[in-house]
């Protein structure tokens, strides 16, 4: 401290000496001196950092276990540590028994080693010198976190010569790993409350520990929520403290075997796949230990997709059939053998195939091929809780008669009064010029999935466009006279529902919100300008009360309906798809949501993936459910046309009227005889 600063401090203390006792004045002097010294301290490299490839092979830095690490992992971790991009998220998945937990521990040890080469570590991240830098292991509960990753790390560090000589922890404490001189700690926990106030530089979440022993959909549903929330909060906590010069210096690690892939992990991989700061590893057992299988014969396995199940490919004919399904018909050259075919499979679909060593042939042919793909090949096969995953069935319900009526795929509607801001225009201004709805006299059903800000709003409209025979049988009218209990088998026709439109309305920039009044005005526009008669308009009760009241005051029939409380609406829609009773156009926002919602039978609920959405799909299935439910009711419209009229009209043919008259005549005779 300079003489000038010392003099000014003394003068200040002298001026307030009558206000404080001597001990308090000394505390002020000590605190001020400490703060001034901290501001002058900078991180200082006290020993050179050994390059990773040298470090990972040296027992001095990593203990004797460095000889037992698979070269595969040494190479992958080198890619992470030496990446030209700062890797701040690592997802370790794949086959069981491949060393994912070990890889996570090596990353943690390397991070601790690099910090140990500095004095005043906190200054590396622009933190106060007194700030504690924490590493955390996350698990289902604190006891599990302590027994698994934390204890493994502690035992490993205690066997490493470097850490015993240069960065020795406080060995009298085993409930945490502490380096008090540099304020570094390694701890464990299961909720964010266990890490309050900590500067979390690195976290490790082993997802297997969360899902172990859980055997019900409800348990998985609740655990997905917990894992997703915990991981997001911890990652956000890290990013908030360790962004230096615009770069996130923290590290979040997720370890998850393919055999227990949850919607959390799948969603995390999907949204991180193209992030240059995320590194994803998913090895098979033969990837990790290639020498063991170097001379093995290989057989070809198709891992499955949304329209075809996994299978062992036994012939070129089977392979060509699969490739044709993938839109790659004729991609294989003539006169090749199956064993050589893999290298000719187009690159953009080659990830759907795997060459498996012959040692595992019985597991794939005789055993459960899905489990074999997960446990041995490291493939995450389609989530068993996925509600719908057939692209073939989806495409069978696409109709050339229907098209998107709007000029944009997604539209912003805003409460703004500024004509220059996005979302100012009314929704009707986005309608394609001259667009005409099919079957304009048919009653319409609409469902709104509303939100004000943050989330998008979904709006969809549909109508019954026709009827489909499911079976046909001639009536045995003569039996009416002979058997009083006989009920004739009628020709059964079931409705086909056409989706007029589906639309995602995106929220505007804050502080503006999605304009419900513009949605109301659009509904009025459909009635007045397109002659649409609404049989029913529904919305979830959340945030919809005012809009629903305004529509009722305008003469529209409205009701509250939630597609979140039960799975009925989604299950009904999926059944319609499988029966090919939907006529729709391909709308990517809807398709993406539909293929990513998860069904939990025990809870009778459908939910989206973490950080996913289902606003458009909610509106679509809600409108379909309205139309389907109306079949049990006589839903009157303004022109008194009801569903019974539509049914009769759809069943009219040359012999229909005569059969009805004959039936009524015989039915009257039955009634007379009963009297």
Determine contact, residues 242/125, Cβ cutoff 8 Å: yes
Annotate 589-632 with DSSP letters as a single string.
Answer: HHHHHHTT-EEETTTTEEEPPTT---HHHHHHHHHHHHHHHGGG
For residue 427, give the nearest of 332, 502, 505 by alpha carbon. 505
Q: What is the pLDDT of residue 383?
A: 52
pLDDT of 640 above 60: no
Q: What pLDDT sits at residue 262? A: 52
Is the confidence at residue 639, as pLDDT, over 50? no
User: Dihedral angle at the C-alpha atoms of 615, 621, 622, 625, nearest 10 degrees?
Assistant: -170
The C-alpha atoms of residue 41 and residue 187 are separated, in whole angstroms, by: 27
Q: What is the tens place of the pLDDT at every residue in 459-487?
A: 999 999 999 876 544 445 455 455 555 55
**According to the model, what pLDDT value does residue 309 have?**
75
Domains of the chain and CATH, by start:
3-40 (no CATH), 52-283 (3.40.50), 286-375 (no CATH), 398-467+495-643 (3.30.420.240)
Q: What is the pLDDT of residue 147?
A: 78
Contact 447, 623 (CB under 8 A): yes
Q: What is the mean predicted confidence (pLDDT) over 13-18?
A: 74
Across the range 520-529, mean pLDDT stands at: 97
**pLDDT of 498 higher than 90:** yes
More confident residue, 608 or 428: 428
- Residue 227's CB is within 10 A of a number of other CB atoms, namely 24
DSSP string for residues in 315-326 = SHHHHHHHHHHT
Q: What is the structure's pLDDT at 35? A: 60
CA angle 597, 599, 603 (to 5 degrees): 135
Does the pLDDT of residue 290 top 80, yes or no? yes
Helical residues (DSSP H) of 150-298, grouped into ranges = 151-157, 161-165, 207-211, 217-241, 263-272, 285-288
- pLDDT tens per residue, range 572-618: 999 999 899 999 999 999 999 998 888 876 677 888 866 678 999 99
pLDDT in tens, 641-663: 344 334 433 444 444 444 555 55
- More confident: 640 or 631: 631
Question: What span, in angstroms and rounded, lies between the C-alpha atoms of 368 and 427?
Answer: 52
Q: Which band of pLDDT confidence, cut at 50, 70 and 90, is reported for residue 410?
A: very high
Q: What is the pLDDT of residues 324-383, one digit of tens each?
A: 888 888 889 988 999 899 999 999 899 999 999 999 999 999 988 888 998 899 887 655
pLDDT of residue 86 exceeding 90, the answer is yes
Question: To the nearest whole number, what is the mean pLDDT of the chain?
Answer: 83
Phi, psi of 581 (to 5 degrees): -115, 20
What's the pLDDT score for residue 16?
Answer: 72
Query: What does the pLDDT read at residue 477?
Result: 47
More confident residue, 23 or 539: 539
pLDDT score at 246: 87
* pLDDT confidence of residue 411: 97
Residues 574 and 617 sit within 8 Å (Cβ to Cβ):
no
pLDDT at 397 > cutoff 70: yes
Three-state secondary structure call for residue 666: helix
Q: Tokens for 448? A: 């709104």
List, for residues 25-41, the tens digit of each pLDDT value. 777 777 766 665 555 46
Place of tokens 């499955």: 304
pLDDT tier, 4 (very low <50, low <70, confident <90, very high otherwise): very low
CB atoms within 10 A of CB 374: 21
Identify the sign of the CA torsion 85, 90, 94, 96: positive
Return the higher-pLDDT residue of 512 and 490: 512
Is 0.75 surpassed by the pTM of this model?
no
Which among 476, 477, 397, 439 is positioned nearest to 649, based on CA atoms?
A: 439
Model confidence at 105, pLDDT cuts 50, 70, 90, reads very high
Looking at 100-109, 440-449, 519-528, 659-668, which range is the least confident one? 659-668
Residue 600: both structure tokens together: 């939990």
How does residue 391 score in pLDDT terms, banded at 50, 70 and 90? confident
pLDDT of 208: 55
What tokens does 449 get?
């999935």
Peptide bond preceding 495 in cis form (omega within 30 of 0): no
pLDDT at 646: 40
Reply yes or no on whether the pLDDT at 623 is more than 60.
Answer: yes
Alpha-carbon separation of residue 101 from 91, 92, 257, 510 (angstroms): 11, 8, 10, 43
**Cα–Cα distance measured from residue 121 to residue 134, given in angstroms and rounded to the nearest whole number:** 12
pLDDT exceeds 80 at position 567: yes
Whether the predicted pLDDT of 416 surpasses 90: yes
**Edge-to-edge, what's the strand order for the sheet holding 184-189?**
177-179, 184-189, 133-138, 199-206, 251-255, 89-92, 278-281
Lowest-confidence segment of 133-142, 281-290, 302-311, 515-524 by average pLDDT: 302-311
């Amino acid at each position: 401290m300079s003489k000038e600063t010392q003099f000014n401090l003394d003068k200040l203390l002298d001026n307030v000496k009558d206000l404080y006792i001597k001990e308090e004045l000394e505390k002020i002097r000590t605190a001020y001196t400490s703060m001034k010294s901290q501001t002058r301290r900078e991180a200082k490299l006290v020993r050179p950092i050994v390059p990773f490839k040298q470090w990972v092979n040296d027992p001095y830095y990593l203990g004797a276990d460095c000889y037992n690490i698979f070269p595969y992992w040494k190479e992958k971790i080198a890619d992470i540590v030496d990446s030209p991009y700062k890797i701040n998220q690592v997802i370790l998945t794949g086959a069981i028994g491949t060393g994912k937990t070990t890889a996570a521990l090596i990353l943690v040890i390397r991070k601790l080693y690099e910090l140990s080469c500095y004095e005043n570590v906190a200054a590396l991240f622009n933190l106060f010198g007194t700030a504690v830098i924490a590493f955390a292991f996350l698990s289902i509960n604190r006891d599990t976190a302590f027994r698994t990753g934390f204890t493994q790390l502690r035992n490993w560090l205690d066997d490493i010569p470097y850490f015993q000589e240069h960065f020795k922890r406080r060995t009298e404490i085993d409930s945490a790993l502490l380096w008090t001189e540099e304020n570094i700690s390694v701890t464990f926990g299961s909720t964010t409350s266990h890490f309050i106030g900590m500067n979390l530089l690195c976290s490790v979440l082993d997802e297997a520990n969360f899902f172990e022993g859980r055997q019900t959909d409800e348990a998985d549903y609740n655990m997905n929520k917990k894992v997703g929330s915990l991981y997001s909060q911890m990652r956000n906590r890290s990013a908030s403290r360790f962004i230096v010069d615009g770069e996130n210096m923290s590290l979040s690690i997720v370890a998850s075997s393919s055999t227990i892939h949850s919607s959390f992990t799948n969603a995390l991989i999907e949204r991180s796949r193209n992030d240059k700061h995320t590194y994803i590893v998913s090895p098979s057992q033969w990837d990790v230990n290639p020498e063991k299988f170097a001379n093995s014969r290989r057989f070809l396995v198709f891992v499955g997709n949304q329209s075809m199940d996994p299978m062992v490919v036994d012939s070129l004919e089977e392979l060509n059939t699969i490739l044709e399904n993938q839109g790659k018909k004729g991609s294989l050259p003539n006169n090749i053998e199956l064993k050589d075919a893999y290298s000719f499979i187009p690159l953009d679909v080659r990830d759907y195939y795997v060459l498996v060593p012959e040692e595992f042939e019985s597991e794939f042919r005789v055993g459960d091929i899905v489990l074999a793909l997960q446990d041995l090949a490291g493939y995450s096969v389609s989530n068993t809780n996925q509600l719908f995953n057939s692209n073939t069935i989806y495409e069978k319900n696409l109709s050339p008669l229907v098209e998107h009526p709007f000029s944009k795929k997604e539209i912003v509607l805003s409460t703004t009064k500024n004509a220059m801001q996005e979302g100012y225009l009314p929704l009707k201004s986005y309608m394609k010029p001259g667009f005409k709805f099919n079957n304009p006299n048919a009653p319409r059903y609409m469902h709104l999935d509303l939100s004000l800000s943050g989330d998008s709003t979904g709006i969809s409209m549909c109508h019954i466009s026709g009827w489909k025979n499911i079976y046909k049988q001639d009536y045995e009218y003569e039996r009416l006279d002979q058997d009083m209990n006989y009920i004739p088998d009628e020709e059964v026709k079931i409705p086909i529902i056409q989706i007029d439109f589906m639309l995602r309305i995106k929220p505007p920039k804050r502080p503006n919100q999605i304009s419900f009044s513009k949605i109301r005005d659009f509904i009025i526009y459909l009635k007045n300008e397109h002659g649409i008669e609404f049989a029913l308009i529904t919305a979830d009760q959340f945030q919809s009360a005012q809009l629903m009241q305004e529509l009722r005051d305008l003469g529209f029939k409205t009701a509250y309906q939630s597609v979140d409380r039960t799975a009925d609406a989604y299950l009904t829609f999926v059944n319609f798809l499988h029966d090919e009773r939907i006529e729709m156009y391909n709308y990517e926002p809807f398709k993406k949501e539909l293929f990513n919602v998860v069904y939990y039978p025990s809870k009778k609920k459908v939910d989206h993936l973490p950080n996913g959405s289902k606003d458009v799909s909610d509106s679509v299935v809600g409108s379909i459910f309205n139309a389907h439910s109306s079949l049990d009711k006589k839903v009157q419209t303004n022109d008194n046309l009801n569903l019974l009229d539509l049914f009769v009209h759809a069943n009219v043919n040359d012999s229909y009227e005569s059969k009805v008259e004959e039936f009524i005549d015989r039915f009257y005779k039955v009634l007379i005889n009963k009297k």
